[in-house]
Amino acid sequence: DIVMTQAPLSVSVTPGESASISCRSSKSLLHSNGITYVYWYLQKPGKSPQLLIYRMSNLASGVPDRFSGSGSETDFTLKISRVEAEDVGIYYCGQLLENPYTFGAGTKLELK
């Protein structure tokens, strides 16, 4: 199975500042079709995960453009600019390249 490794496990951010979360895959997530199948989700307290970024760098519908995704074949970054109170929760990366799809352990974002 593809292992997804996130860092850090938790991050504390001052509102208005930016935050970055890293995710590394044990195998390239670049498909021969040119698409990189890494996804980012946010699970707010008491809620189900919601999609933020799909296919490495595409913003999901309704997601503020303060969120952005980037990366290479195995190293990926989620950046949140101007962190707001509503951004608190656990962020997960996931790979949807091959079965079984797998997820990172999560990064908990808190406000200072």
Binding region for another protein (CB under 8 A): 39, 47-51, 54, 60-61, 92, 94, 96, 99-106
CA angle 86/7/47 to nearest 5° reads 35
Nearer to another protein, 49 or 89 (CB): 49
Beta carbon of residue 5, minimum distance to another protein (angstroms, whole number): 12
CB of 105 to another protein, least distance (A): 5
Closest contact distance (angstroms) between CB of 78 and another protein is 16
CB of 27 within 8 A of CB of 75? no
Residue nearer to another protein on the CB measure, 76 or 92: 92
Which C-beta is closer to another protein: that of 16 or that of 46? Answer: 46
Strand boundaries in 9-66, DSSP class E: 10-13, 19-25, 38-43, 50-54, 58-59
The shares of helix, strand and coil residues in the chain, as percent rounded to the nearest 5, are: 5, 50, 50
